[in-house]
Amino acid sequence: MSGSSAGSPPDDSGDDDRERDRSAGSSQTPPAPEEPPGNAATADDGVTIEDDGLLRWFLNTDNETVMVTRDILSSVAIVAVVGLLLFGVSGIWPPLVAVESSSMEPNMHKGDLIFVADEGRFAGDAAAGGTGVVTLENGQESDHEKFGNPGDVIIYQPNGDPAETPVIHRAHFWVDKGEHWVDTKASEEIVGDATCEDVATCPAEHAGFVTKGDNNDGYDQYGNGISDVVKPTWIQGKAMFRIPWLGHVRLTFDKLLGGMLVPTSPSSTTQGSIPAPTPADPGATGVGPDGNLAGVAAIASTGAGAAVAIGRHRH
């Protein structure tokens, strides 16, 4: 009796061994799953450079960095296409200018965006001097009107000097070389009792246009002292139509950058003048606070953002 009560059942040791085996097995860490072979650039969407190629991966991946880059590149592409189309129609680069002054009011306002074309394109009837420009004088007879008045609004370099800020004003009449234009064609309402002897640009040293801002009191060649009679070779283009307010984007950029976007343009007289874009010159300059314009070198706009680069011109 004493032997049987002090002993253990024959199966107890076996149960203890099995319990220890189970405990040992449960404490072991399961092996980590093997990494699938493939390229490191594997997106959650399953698109890989190795399997799909770099281009397809770039166009279809959901990687945030790549998506932002893709949006930026799309914006640049849209801008390039629009720019090329505008250049193809206008024949001038930049094809847009932003008005910065009031010398052409009420027909152009500060902040307007002006589309500009080569002076030889879209020529109206009765163009003067073998150019594509219709003067106010001829426009009154042929019913050719631009920006609220007869005649074309042209963009020219004062005195043909590339260092000067271009001006955008209306062509009033054509004069021949040696013509005493103050006596023969100038409006008495503008020159008053002045004669050719009183005006430095009279008689005309060469054939060309006499110009004036719609909101100015005097001709650019008299009173304002902006330029000599405008030779056809000084003309860089003519204004075609305006888009209100969009030019403020260019003006805001220039203000934020403190004039670093483009060089500072020279000051105009108190009566103002409007500068214009240079043909095929991405760095052209534009209008300032006293009558300057700005030629748009590039316009970028998309959902990701917008950018505008503009040359400046006087208005």
Domain ranges of the chain: 42-90, 93-173+235-314
Cα dihedral across residues 108, 114, 115, 121: positive or negative = positive
Confidence at residue 279, expressed as pLDDT on a 0 to 100 scale: 39
pLDDT in tens, the chain (315 residues): 444 444 444 555 555 555 555 554 445 555 555 544 444 444 445 777 777 788 788 888 888 888 888 888 888 888 778 777 777 776 677 778 877 778 898 998 888 888 888 887 877 788 898 899 999 999 998 889 999 999 999 989 999 999 887 888 999 999 999 999 999 999 999 999 999 999 999 999 999 999 999 999 999 999 778 999 999 999 989 999 888 887 777 667 666 765 544 433 333 333 433 333 333 333 333 443 333 444 433 333 333 233 333 444 555
Which among 272, 306, 273, 279 has a CA at the least distance from the CA of 295? 279
- Rounded CA-CA distance 16/19 in Å is 5
Residues contacting residue 128 through CB under 8 Å, at least 6 positions apart? 134, 135, 138, 171, 173, 174, 209
Say whether pTM exceeds 0.75.
no
pLDDT the model gives residue 287: 41
3-class secondary structure for the chain?
Answer: CHHHHHCCCCCHHHHHHHHHHHHHHHCCCCCCCCCCCCCCCECCCCCEHHHHCHHHHHHHCCCHHHHHHHHHHHHHHHHHHHHHHHHHHHCCCCCEEEECCCCCCCCCCCCCEEEEECCCCCCCCCCCCCCCCCCHHHHHHHCCEECCEEECEEEECHHHCCCCCCEEEEEEEEECCCCCHHHHCCCHHHHCCCCHHHCCCCCCCCCEEEEECCCCCCCCCCCCCCCCCECHHHEEEEEEEEECCCHHHHHHHHHHCCCCCCCCCCCCCCCCCCCCCCCCCCCCCCCCCCCEEEEEEEEEEECCEEEEEEEEEEC
